[in-house]
Chain A
Amino acid sequence: MKHTSLFNTHKSVGAHIVEFAGWEMPLYYSGIVDEHLAVRKNAGVFDVSHMGEIIVSGKDALKLIQMVQTNDLDVPVKKCKYTHILNDEGKIIDDMIVTRLEENKFFCVPNAGMVDRIFDIFNDAEKTFSKKSKKSFGVDATEFQQEFLAFSEKPKAFPENGKLYFPYNKKGKNVKIENKTMDYVCLAVQGPISMEVLQRLTKYDMGNIKSFWADHVDFGKTCLVTGTGYTGELGCEIFTDNDFGKVIWKKILNAGKEYGLKPCGLGCRNTLRLEKGYLLSGQDFHEDRTSLETNVAWVVKYNHDFTGKKALLKQKEEKHDKFVGFITEKGIPRHGCKIKKNNETVGVVTSGSMSPCLKKGIGLGYVKLEYSNIGEDLDICIRDKNVKAEIVKLPFV
């Protein structure tokens, strides 16, 4: 079982621990609902160091990223983008936020359970485009030259004699893929007063951390801060090393105490994201749904080639299921419950809980296109009983 560097800190304050994707993580400290409401009203800090950190760098970094990501990552430096990685059938393998740290450096944050898979996908992609670039030259190169060609764009001439050579870096590759998951602590600070609390810990103007933009912020040590999160509230995610992670966790809790900031676990992280209609990897998709079926079809940009594009172009012309949110009259929908219309199964629930803000059962799931309109009355089959539900506009809150 893996542990974040804050594990003992969490245990010492009595956090309830749960196993999640091979990690032992805090489920809650004071209570799921209590923490949920603290984030909506004030702020909360989450240790989400189980999330992956994969860094892709080098001259061909953008090329590799674009090959596998549905969204267009040819963005300005410091920009963060939410994006999907698909298989050949267009089915979602994982979703993640990618930040362009430098012109040739991308910081990818895949889900905890998917890190190894994504790392493999990046490495496989790197191999295929190495092969492709050999062909694209159309030069009749020797085996030896091909080795170089694989990693270079065009031959260059030596200034002294005009002879051609193929530039390459020492490792012979123009892209480096590093899995840094165990080296990083990631803390999500979320809630309406989250930035105010963090402002007390730095001279940097936290107002510069706009939604989906990143920067380096000195909190006593320089950390990468992204204007991202999974709660739908104002806030950011702080990436730092394992040692400083312990320091800044305490600093944030101390600075936030008087503001009502609370340490929060994965329990409320789930209910918070659910109220916003955000997808949960492995639960709302599990390589069984395409991006077009979800509520975030905008993550697909057809201006570049990526794995699964062909399948999506085909599906675009067809009738397909749609991801919706619904509120139940009574009872709580759960993953796997059937969605029915006139007693016929027309869909399936992928996430559900009691909404701590609405105090009603809310759910997310896929239904046949013709039953996916806002206001549609459906039945959710909970423990063999049909419960009335109505499709509502997302987010719920």
Chain B
Amino acid sequence: MEIKKDLRYTKKHEWVKVEGEKVRVGITSYAQEKMTDIVYVELPDVGKEVKKDDELGVLESVKSVSEFYSPVTGTIVDVNKNLENSPDLINSSPYNDGWLIVLEMKDKTEIDALLGFEEYKKYIESEKV
């Protein structure tokens, strides 16, 4: 399973890509594989202000329901509308076409608290045991 070196991660298996003042958020390949085929996605409204760890929306596979959470505090500025009709993009392209939302950060230092590549790799290894 793929983990990207240039991304940051959360313990709830979101990935975070810093794009200037904004962050793009998705779920990791490990998470999508665990969830199995994703068939329904509920995304937050653009403009919504959220705090770090707030529930942002819901991902449903044929077998289960999972929430995803905000990795940082900020405002939702974009959501991936393609997921409405093609939620399977999360499975086929978790780090690219399957992105979930874009947030404008309130406090950029929050990024530092997120896991790096090595830390996330270790974290999922420990979770597997």
Are B36 and A28 in contact, CB atoms less than 8 angstroms apart? Answer: yes
Contact A353 to B62, CB < 8 A, known contacts A32-B37, A267-B36, A332-B39 = yes
In whole angstroms, how far apart are the Cα atoms of A334 and B64 in the complex?
A: 9
Contact at B63–A270, with CB atoms within 8 Å? Answer: yes
Please tell me if A296 contacts chain B, counting CB pairs below 8 Å: no
- Do residues A31 and B63 form an inter-chain contact, with CB atoms below 8 A? no
Provide the B38-81 mask, 1 if CB < 8 A to any CB of A, else 0: 01101000000000000000101111010000000000000000
Q: In whole Å, how far is B41's beta carbon from the nearest beta carbon of chain A?
A: 11
Q: Which residues of A contact B61 (CB under 8 A)?
A: 32
Q: How distant is the Cα of A271 from the Cα of B36 in the complex, in angstroms?
A: 13
Which one of B37, B40, B62 has the highest number of Cβ atoms from chain A below 10 Å of its Cβ?
Answer: B62
Q: What CA separation (Å) do A77 and B69 show in the bound complex?
A: 59
- B40 pairs with A32, CB closer than 8 A: no
Task: Tell me the smallest distance from the CB of A43 to a CB of chain B, in Å.
Answer: 20
Say yes or no for A52: interface residue by CB 8 A criterion.
Answer: no
Chain A residues near B33 (CB-CB < 8 A): 16
Q: A28 to B33, alpha carbons, bound, how many Å? A: 11
Task: Give the distance to chain A from B93, nearest Cβ to Cβ, in Å.
Answer: 15
Contact B65 A32 (CB under 8 A): no
Interface membership of chain A positions 31-67, coded 1 if the CB is closer than 8 angstroms to chain B and 0 otherwise: 1111010000000000000000000000000000000
B62, A383: Cβ atoms under 8 Å? no
Verify B37–A332 contact, CB threshold 8 A.
no
Q: What bracket does the count of chain B residues touching chain A fall in?
A: 10 to 19
Query: B36, B40, B91: which contacts A332 (Cβ < 8 A)?
Result: B40
Say yes or no: is A27 at the interface (Cβ < 8 Å to chain B). Answer: yes
Say whether A383 contacts B58, CB under 8 Å.
Answer: yes
- In the complex, how many angstroms separate the beta carbon of B112 from the nearest chain A beta carbon? 33
Interface size on A, residues (CB 8 A): 19
A332 touches B60 (CB 8 A): yes
Q: Which of B36, B42, B58, B61 gathers the greatest number of chain A CB atoms within 10 Å?
A: B36
Complex Cα distance, B58 from A383, in Å, reads 10
Asked if A354 and B36 sit within 8 Å, CB to CB, the answer is: no
Chain A residues 18-32 with CB under 8 Å of chain B are: 27-28, 31-32
> Secondary structure at chain A's binding surface: helix, strand, loop or mixed?
mixed
A270 to B39 alpha-carbon distance, docked (Å): 15
Residue in A31, A331, A361, A383 whose beta carbon sits within 8 Å of that of B36 in the complex: A31
Q: Which residue of B40, B63, B91 contacts A267 across the interface (Cβ within 8 Å)?
A: B63
| A354 and B65 within 8 A (CB) | no
Within 8 Å CB of B39, what residues of A? Answer: 33, 332, 354, 356
Contact present for A353 and B63 (CB under 8 Å): yes
Tell me the nearest residue of chain A to B60, going by C-beta: A332
A270 to B36, CA, bound (A): 14
A8 to B26, CA, bound (A): 34
Contact: B58 with A354, CB < 8 Å?
Answer: no
Which of chain B's residues have a CB closer than 8 A to the CB of A334? 65
The answer to whether A32 touches B58, judged by C-beta atoms less than 8 angstroms apart, is: no
Distance between A37 CB and nearest chain B CB, rounded to angstroms: 11
User: Nearest Cβ distance between residue B94 and chain A, in whole angstroms?
Assistant: 14
Chain A, 352-387, CB within 8 A of any chain B CB: 353-354, 356, 361, 383
Cα(A331)–Cα(B40), bound, Å:
7
With a cutoff of 8 Å between Cβ atoms, the chain B residues found around residue A356 in the complex are 39, 62
> Which of chain B's residues have a CB closer than 8 A to the CB of A271?
62
Chain A window 264-301, contacts with chain B (Cβ cutoff 8 Å), 1 for yes, 0 for no: 00010011000000000000000000000000000000
Which 5 A/B pairs are nearest by Cβ-Cβ distance?
Answer: A354-B39, A33-B37, A32-B62, A32-B36, A332-B60
Binding site for A on B (CB under 8 A): 33, 36-37, 39-40, 42, 58, 60-63, 65, 91
**Beyond A270-B63, A332-B39, A356-B62, 13 additional pairs, beta carbon < 8 A:** A27-B36, A28-B36, A31-B36, A32-B36, A32-B37, A267-B63, A271-B62, A331-B40, A332-B65, A334-B65, A353-B63, A354-B39, A356-B39
Q: Could you pull out 22 A-B pairs where Cβ atoms are within 8 angstroms?
A: A16-B33, A16-B36, A27-B36, A28-B36, A31-B91, A32-B61, A32-B63, A33-B62, A36-B62, A267-B36, A267-B62, A270-B63, A271-B62, A331-B40, A332-B40, A332-B65, A353-B63, A354-B39, A354-B40, A354-B62, A356-B39, A356-B62
